[in-house]
Amino acid sequence: MGLFSLLRSLLAIIGAIGITAIVIFAVGQLAPEVSSERFVANEEVVVVVPEEADILDEEEEMPPPKAAAKEDVPEDPPAQESKPTEQVPEEASTLTITAQAAEWEITRTENPYGIPARDFSEINEEARAALVNIFCRAGGSLGSITASGVFINSNGVILTNAHVAQYILLAQSKKANLECTVRTGAPARDRFVARVLYVPPSWVREHAHDLNNENALGTGEHDWALLYVIESTDGSTLPSSFPFLPFDTRVGIGFTGDSILIASYPAGFLGGTATISTLYPASTVTTIQSLLTFDSGVPEIFSLGGSVAAQSGSSGGAVVNGWGYLIGLITTMSNAETTAERDLRAVALNYVDADLRALTGHDLQIYIRGDLAQKSAVFMSVYGVELTELLLEQVK
């Protein structure tokens, strides 16, 4: 590591988190303004691997998450099927990055899409429609887990964390006593069965031994994954189009102080029965507190501070900007007594895109198109046996 590398500090993992936020922007035409910001490389990055949720031996049930006075969104707004365009708008901003001592300076156009930001009450409906709960029922030594994810195209591709997708990968083996479903709605109900489209092999190799470790450690690098829906849980015909959030993979699309919407299915304060039957999505509006990087010299992590979303179950949740674009994936959380004291963090979509391109030669927009079953089969033929065996070793 050189002078500009990020000092990685491994912290105890709490349960990954996800949140949905709502922000209201002016509707008048905005003139582009240019601003610059410095972000630090040599700062602690907390990457959170979600805790396993024992759905049988939890304490008393608690009511679904309730909205805070100003910040939170009502529990169950109507989940309308929006049809956003899948194409990320053309570059409308100028971005320069300059290395300066232990800092980098990033400059961008304030109005990156050339149109006014949208009302976040609309964005909240779209985010909740695209949000999913990933729920795995387990037997034997493996605990059951609950986490979040988000549809990122109309074909049923879901973006979530690698520490969540490892359970989907394990469930694909007949040797594992594990069943995973994709749930949607408020409260969450079984809807679909998903398979692994891609998970960074290096993440599984490095962390498979922590599968049963409630205090697993990690750095957050490569902690993302792609799933795709293969069938409905009740045998009905799959939707012709899934509600989804378009995403923006440009570097520097999120700045410190930007209002963002976070959406997830947090379950940290729910009992076991409640997690199964009365798990509700939660949304909140907050701001980006700071920008961090692993060691690339560009912003790769959003620090989001504390909120109701800083709970186990939010792993894989969405971070959405004021134009309705997914720009971050909830991945990490610092350890603290209350949600307000914790620091929720998300990997930026530009990091996910760059990592996928380095591993496969294809960017995110290209990889999630075409014959998904074939791409999944290729991944499984190359990595499936090796990675599954690593995970099975932990549940024998």
**Rounded distance between C-alpha atoms, residue 45 and residue 381, angstroms:** 34
The structural architecture, per CATH, of the domain 34-392 is Beta Barrel (2.40)
pLDDT of 393 over the 90 cut = yes
Measured in degrees and rounded to the nearest 5, phi and psi for residue 360 equal -120, -20
In the chain, the N- to C-terminal Cα span, in Å, equals 38
Q: What is the pLDDT of residues 372-389, one digit of tens each?
A: 999 999 999 999 999 999
Q: What is the pLDDT of residues 219-247, one digit of tens each?
A: 678 999 999 999 999 999 999 999 999 99
Q: Where are the domains of the chain?
A: 34-392
pLDDT of 195 over the 90 cut = yes
C-beta of residue 164 within 8 angstroms of C-beta of residue 145? yes
| Banded model confidence at residue 35, pLDDT cuts 50, 70, 90 | very low
Average pLDDT, the chain: 76
Does the model's pTM come out above 0.95? no
State residue 212's pLDDT score: 83
State residue 279's pLDDT score: 93
Q: Quickly count helices (H) and strands (E) in the chain.
A: 8, 16
State residue 171's pLDDT score: 96
In order, the DSSP letters of 245-292 are: --B---TT-S-TT-EEEEEE---TT--HHHHHH----EEEEEE--EEE
pLDDT of 91 over the 50 cut = no
Q: Identify the weakest region by mean pLDDT among 136-150, 305-319, 356-370, 378-392.
A: 305-319
In order, the DSSP letters of 126-138 are: HHHHHEEEEEEEE
- Up-side HSE of residue 204: CA atoms within 13 Å toward CB? 26
Residue 214 has a CB neighbour count (10 Å cut-off) of 14
pLDDT of 96 over the 90 cut = no
Mean pLDDT, residues 55-66 = 29
